[in-house]
Amino acid sequence: MGADKIGYLGPIGTFTEQAMACFFAGKDFFGVPYGDIPALIRSVSDGHITCAVVPAENSVEGSVNVTLDLLLSEEGLLITGEVVLPVMHHLLARQGLRSFKKILSHPHALAQCRGFIDRRFPTAVKEATASTAEAARLVSACGEPWAAIGTEEAAAHYGLEVVIRAVQDYADNETRFVVIGTQPVPPTGRDKTSLAFSLVHDRPGALHGALGEFADRGINLTKIESRPARRSIGYYVFFADCEGHREDELLAAAIEAVKRRSTYFKILGSYPRWEGRRC
């Protein structure tokens, strides 16, 4: 039996690659880089890779919406794990450059470093790329005075210099990554469950009633947010994370009760919760 093929948002040198290496440390696998999240997630659906590691949420910029949307639209996929990494962004450039016309990075990275860029390089154009490592690759290949925001690994891989370290605006910047696969994960006793549901939009107290199903059973919700349901204004999908596994008796009862209240309901996965170990 060969090593598992694990997809990640590439190219080489991304934070997602670091998250993959952290989560699968000690296991037999090899990483397959993908240029964007939709292609990566759909490759799990198509069976080309065993599972995928994708960014899901940042402590500064919030959820990665494309990941949430694809979890809703792609059938047969489940969150099977999570990993939380501290994120330290560096300003990368070709040797000797200290003034830049353009700064490239992933949209979330640019947003996490917005204050730094505006203070130090107020005239630089900010350009979004598919990943921080792709930004480093583009800067390395270009003769223009460009810089990238990315990892130290990306700088080493693409022959760039770390011009300024730790340029993120908030020191406690963290990103949560999720592992997406097709096989359910059995209970471990330290689990988390992710759900998505929609409610009747014009009924007073509908959300209060749904959330009460968890509160009445003493189940802690660790996250709740909404996304447009891609219908008319006023229709939303709620995403919730709660403590426990879908097979736990109390949580199973809460899930059934919320499902009865919902116009749409989907379990996105039950999986071991990340417990803060450092990679």
Question: Which active-site residues does the annotation give?
Answer: 175, 177
Which alpha helices (DSSP H) does the chain contain, by range?
Answer: 15-23, 37-45, 65-73, 107-112, 114-120, 132-141, 152-157, 206-215, 249-261
* Cross-strand partners of 178: 54, 82
Residue 99 DSSP one-character state:
-
CB-based contacts of 261: which residues, under 8 Å, 6+ apart?
Answer: 199, 206, 209, 210, 213
* Rounded Cα–Cα distance for residues 104 and 113 (Å): 11
Rounded to 5°, angle at Cα 200 from 195 and 205 = 90
Residue 160 DSSP one-character state:
-
Cα dist from 123 to 4, 102, 118, 119, whole Å: 46, 9, 8, 10
